[in-house]
Structure 1
Amino acid sequence: MVSFFTGTALLALTTLLPLAEALDNGVARVPVLGYNTWNAYQCNIDQDLMITTATLMKSLGLQDAGYHYVNIDDCYGELQRDNQTGRIVPDHIRFPNITAMNDEIHAMGFKTGIYSDSGWFTCAGYPGSFENEALDAETFQDWGFSYLKYDNCAIPFDDIIREGIVGKYERMANALTDLAKKSGKPPFVFSLCEWGWSQVWLWGKNFGHSWRVTGDIAPQWDSLAAIINFNSFITQGTDFSGHNDMDMLQLGNGGLTFDEAKSHFTAWALMKSPLLIGTNLSQITDDILGILKNKEILAINQDSVVGQSISPFRWGINPDWTSNSSFPAQYWSGPSENGTVIMLLNTLPEPATMFFNLTESPWIRAGRQYSVRDLWSHTDNGTAVRNFTAENIPAHGVVAMLLKDAGNEPSGIFPQCAVWFQCTSENGTHVGG
């Protein structure tokens, strides 16, 4: 029998259980930015494609925007290991010299990542790394990779594995740690692709730098909404060196409106998910490229002072803390190096006006006014006092702002409190709103 948590039950679980300490080993302190082949190409990959993709990332300005990883997903190998060395073998036709490929991509200034699986086989049926963790880690490093996405297919029978899901990932984590000590090279970036079924956000940061929190993304609003909703209850799992991975960016693959694409990118970036592009870059439009290169949004994702995700402060159309995969939380905030980040997400299929009192966000001080920076129009939009209203946010659209303290609010404002509940004078008199 499969059981699912309601939002309330999930919140209670994550409140009661302590979060693990992050794996702070000198790499991936902030989310990884880069490219992954799976969403655009699945198994239709080869050496030329990887070099072409890296070349496009450079010429399109994505490298300058901070996207520094070019990652291969599944299907790069032969179906059998080498019968003498036991090593995984690159497909001899599609990847005739995978080391030379990496050398060429590295020469462009990129790092490279590869994929494997914690079971007998990968999800596409290629050799997995179970019982070959140390050998495969060494092989991947010998080929020139420094990032490993590690999947969860083809799990061995219980009488073979004799450990839980944590132990299955710990095997490769230990192999990568030992390899770094042995080789003297920086540790691999380790991305756990466990899909979140075993509350990976509670234990994943013991072993990796990011962990998938749901199943695979699809380029439809319903998929985005479900992932945002699930992640809204576990934002405390993200901080420096450990990130809830909401899966790859599905921009430009069809199925999303332009406003939905903006919401997708904004939510992923501000929740500090790794940002791995999954689009055919030879077909990318200027509009989608502009979304991916939004430097003000990217700066918050890559904040070197504050590592935590934004979190909901009001649930919008749902009763508080109620899970709704179609209508996730709409009102979000969080701290950053340069002010309070606000995300207003219109989850409705029609335009909406959204209003909130500033102090509903725990990061806003009462009695202060705040300058408003729009992170999409890149404009300074005056000063907010007590509350803020965003008019006509498009269907499934987003507003992203940075609020900076601009001093005391003007004197003489009535009522004395923006949020009237329990507003009390020094003599004990409650003041109405």
Structure 2
Amino acid sequence: MRHLPARTTRRRVVGSLAAALLCAAGLAAPAAARDTAGRTAAGPSPTHPAEGGRAATAPVAPGPATKVPDGLALTPPMGFNNWNSTHCRAEFDEAMVKGIADLFVEKGLKEAGYQYVNLDDCWALPERDANGKLVPDPVRFPGGIKAVADYVHAKGLKLGIYTSAGTKTCNSAGFPGALGHERSDARQFADWGVDYLKYDNCNNQGVDARQRYTAMRDALEATGRPIVYSICEWGENKPWEWAADVGHLWRTTGDISDSWGSMLSIMKRNLPLAPYAGPGRWNDPDMLEVGNGGMTDTEYRTHFSLWSIMAAPLLIGSDLRKASPRTFEILGNEEVIAVDQDPLGRQGSVVSSEGGRWVVAKQMKDGSRAVALFNETGSAQSVATTAKAVGLPGADAYTLRDLWQHKSYHTAGRIAATVPAHGTVLLRVSADDKWSHHPPATELALKGGLFVEAGTSAKVTSEVTNLGRTAAQRVTVALGAPAGWAVRATSPSTAAALPTGRTLATTWTVTAPAGTRPGAYDLALKATYRSPQGARAEKELPLTAQVVLAPPAGTSSLGDLPWLSATNGWGPVERDTSNGDSGAGDGRPITIGGTVYAKGLGVHAESTVEYYTGGACEKVTAQVGVDDETIVKGTVAFEIWADGRKAASTGVLTNAMPAQELSADVSGAQTVRLVATDGGDGIDSDHGDWAQASLSC
């Protein structure tokens, strides 16, 4: 599924003559024709679900019969695809593809399991030759595709290619698609030495999806060459229900973009489909964005962790020639990759998700469980479960391996961590007799948000809790802060022993120097202790302190106040204009039901904007609705949160409805969050407005 910016949004009527004409003209068709700047005329607008709480655990129909074995994709495919980093730009060429293959070998990615180097759209000329054959672009690929395949194969790797199950591909230039040419194109791919085909969904002329995708399956099989077959019809026809005997993997969602909101929404859509996945038949939530720059390293680790626990294909979407050491570190984590590549082939399932605190567990072939503790929210949260809840048998204690820290502990049964905002702790937990070789696991926590007004002391409480079967001994805790800050413990920060389930609580005063500029500052809570056998253990919790300004007295427009954080599903949150398109400052006057508002916030679901209120404010009021720039569908629900409490909410609003007043009592709250969800039906240009949003203090 592909979505366009507000000015060009229209419902997809894939297969219509109008769609074909639009694509040929280089305009944005409902199937979202791509150009050299991205998947649509202004890049991909994300597609989101709104599955809060436990929605993601809703029952799912049993999966399809096991795929007829052909020995392909017995674990999720791993490799590279150029689209997310290059789109159709000139830098996508033979040199790039060979360079990626070289780096797979040089950087150890091949050894870690990555094997496919895949070409996306724009590799061909816009017209077939006189014999109806596809012609590689001689500028991009002067040696042809076979020469590239030979180079990749010589590295012990495999080559993938792209086309569409329509008359044209998805790019606005209109490269030839394979509809009606399946046998000929498949033969060319096989003759070139192609090992993987991504088969898109644009310009399909209304032909039934099963028919189109089955035709290419038969054509590929007729070549006699083993080719992994990736069905990319964006989940429109629920391929998980019928494609297990057609392809090896199928897209479950629209295109991903390099943003937190896009990644999060795609995860929520893909998670409930766990029963359909297995060896040779994988749910595909789209390619990785790790390293492309739109998310933080913490968010990229979450992205990689969640794709791995969902047994998703791991197709690198960043240009590795420009990648940072941190990107290679994330993509090359073999302990995390082992979760994705486990031969049992189970996709992780949701154990709980209340309040944005997610527990996802995956059964592994050796009987252990991979467990992701994921914090969707914008502040550190304790995320917890138990060995029993994730399906492990009863035992005296369990070995708990932290796959990002590469450290092992033991637990009496509780699995818990305080997880930073947008972070994930990925664990592998097993019931074995080796648990006693490891020190007890502990959970570090900081109670209450750390908000500091410059020159004024803030009080916080740290906690170190022993989760292990044996006591933690010689426990010491320290709170680190930036240079020049004053940090002082006002209660004991050591304990001779901490028995199972007991907590060392320490109160602290934290003072930022007068004149410290508002913003986020890094702190760290660190605990050291020993096991009864004398083994030393160390745990560290990265934290963020916000230096804030006291909220102004009286009533203020929220569009005029600084926020603590803002996430948005498409482009940035805009002040006093609509969400507009993908860039900052490209919004238009806020307009709901024909009424124009001078002040407010323009957002795109899923969106969260958080403000510091410091316990000094009483009320938030706004006129909310779907902006008139959403000309087709648009469904948004609005919520106001006071700390961890939902203080007010609307039902689902559409672009056919006038603005509704939404107000909430936020008395005593340290923070207020304005949340816009997609109303539960996925994103289709869900541009929402917080018109005349005000805060009274």
What is the TM-score normalised by the length of structure 1? 0.84
Contact 2:164 2:179 in 1 (8 A): yes
Identify which of structures 1 and 2 has the higher relative contact order when contacts are C-alpha pairs closer than 8 Å and 6+ apart: 1
Task: Describe the SS at the equivalent of 1:233.
Answer: helix
Aligned mates of 1:26, 1:14 — CA distance in 2: 27
For residue 70 of structure 2, the aligned residue among 8, 25, 40 is: 25
Q: Percent identity?
A: 34
* CA RMSD between the two structures: 2.5
Aligned mates of 2:95, 2:469 — CA distance in 1: 62
For residue 134 of structure 1, the aligned residue among 168, 183, 188 is: 183
Q: Deviations over 1:305-362 (max 9, x none)?
A: x111111111221xxxxxxxxx5x701112113311111001111111122232122x
Aligned mates of 2:57, 2:214 — CA distance in 1: 26
What does residue range 239-388 of structure 1 map to in structure 2 within 5 Å?
A: 239-304=278-343, 306-317=344-355, 327=356, 330-338=358-366, 339-361=368-390, 363-381=391-409, 383-388=410-415
* Alpha-carbon distance, 1:133 to partner: 0.4
* Alpha-carbon distance, 1:6 to partner: 7.7
Q: Deviations over 1:118-144 (max 9, x none)?
A: 011100121000011011000011112
Give 2:158's aligned amino acid. Answer: K
Moved beyond 4 Å, runs of 4+: 4-13, 407-411
Structure 1 partner of 2:424: 398
Whichever structure has more helix as a proportion of its residues is 1
Contact 2:398 2:429 in 1 (8 A): yes
Structure 1 partner of 2:106: 59
* Alpha-carbon distance, 1:68 to partner: 0.8
Q: Deviations over 1:211-235 (max 9, x none)?
A: 1111111111111110111112111
Aligned mates of 1:13, 1:350 — CA distance in 2: 30
Aligned mates of 1:275, 1:78 — CA distance in 2: 29
Give 2:423's aligned amino acid. Answer: G
Structure 1 partner of 2:220: 176
Contact 2:164 2:199 in 1 (8 A): yes
Contact 2:291 2:327 in 1 (8 A): yes
* Alpha-carbon distance, 1:151 to partner: 0.3
Contact 1:371 1:380 in 2 (8 A): yes
Contact 1:113 1:149 in 2 (8 A): yes
What is the TM-score normalised by the length of structure 2? 0.53
- Bigger CA drift: 166-175 or 89-98? 89-98
Structure 2 partner of 1:323: none
Contact 1:368 1:406 in 2 (8 A): no
Q: Does 1:165 align with 2:209?
A: yes
Structure 2 partner of 1:94: 140
* Alpha-carbon distance, 1:195 to partner: 0.7
Aligned mates of 2:104, 2:192 — CA distance in 1: 22
Contact 2:56 2:268 in 1 (8 A): no
For residue 85 of structure 2, the aligned residue among 40, 48, 51 is: 40
Task: Describe the SS at the equivalent of 1:121.
Answer: coil
Aligned mates of 1:266, 1:23 — CA distance in 2: 30
Task: Describe the SS at the equivalent of 1:330.
Answer: strand
Contact 2:167 2:176 in 1 (8 A): yes
* Alpha-carbon distance, 1:206 to partner: 1.5
- Bigger CA drift: 125-134 or 295-304? 295-304
Aligned mates of 1:267, 1:6 — CA distance in 2: 17
* Alpha-carbon distance, 1:10 to partner: 8.8
Contact 2:119 2:161 in 1 (8 A): yes
Aligned length: 387
What does residue range 63-212 of structure 1 map to in structure 2 within 5 Å?
A: 63-83=110-130, 85-98=131-144, 99-124=146-171, 125-157=174-206, 161=207, 164-180=208-224, 185=225, 187-212=226-251
Task: Describe the SS at the equivalent of 2:397.
Answer: strand
* Alpha-carbon distance, 1:18 to partner: 4.8
Contact 1:316 1:331 in 2 (8 A): no
Aligned mates of 1:276, 1:100 — CA distance in 2: 22
Structure 1 residues not aligned, in runs of 5+: 318-326, 415-433
C-alpha change, 1:18 and 1:285, in structure 2 (3 Å) is closer
Aligned mates of 1:115, 1:213 — CA distance in 2: 18
Contact 2:76 2:313 in 1 (8 A): yes
Task: Describe the SS at the equivalent of 2:95.
Answer: helix
- Bigger CA drift: 402-411 or 275-284? 402-411
Task: Describe the SS at the equivalent of 2:431.
Answer: strand
Give 2:392's aligned amino acid. Answer: I
Structure 2 partner of 1:417: none
